[in-house]
Structure 1
């Protein structure tokens, strides 16, 4: 087995690692950045802990989310804790 074989073998392994590990992470980060850029006050959100709430304030890296119907539970959390956003119906 020559040196050319080993070089091709290493290139194939690196390409395989790229397509299985690095590329999906980049897509996930891009999707998350797009999600955060579309975030607005009044949007309903789902957090990583499974709670549903409504955004009442947004800062650079945190959001204040209001949980429940009594309007007394307001919790500041990092934007990264938000998994899903649902826009309110415009009717």
Structure 2
């Protein structure tokens, strides 16, 4: 390990610069990639946990519908004005939830 952290002259200046660069790269990856992704996952799980029957939803494929029934990992969604168009889908396919106005 000592060979990797020393330069040809025998000093440790180049090794310390390399360590600083590695720390900066790891910090950049954390603050600009991992942290925002975790925040988005928390927001999405909070949105799905607050899902209730009667909520209007938008699916990842772009369809708007109304939640008819909810189970642990699936929901039954009614699409359009046709009351016979009810499709079961995974909760993870929901991209946005809009609560009905009181």
- TM-score, normalised by the number of residues in structure 2: 0.84
Query: Match of 1:2, SS?
Result: helix
Would you identify which runs of 4 or more consecutive aligned residues in structure 1 move more than 6 Å? none
Structure number with greater Rg is 2
Give, in whole Å, the separation in 1 of the partners of 2:70 and 2:33. Answer: 32
Q: Which residue of 1 aligns with 2:48?
A: 36
Query: Match of 1:70, SS?
Result: coil
Structure (1/2) with the larger strand percentage: 1
Residues 1-91 of structure 1 mapped to structure 2, 5 A cutoff: 1-90=13-102
RMSD: 0.9
Compare relative contact order (CA 8 Å, sep 6+) and give the higher one, 1 or 2: 1
- TM-score, normalised by the number of residues in structure 1: 0.94
Per-residue CA deviation, residues 3-58 of structure 1 (Å, 9 max, x unaligned), is 11111110001001111211111011001011011100000101111111000011
Alignment: residue pair count: 90
Gaps of 5+ in 1: none
Gaps of 5+ in 2: 1-12
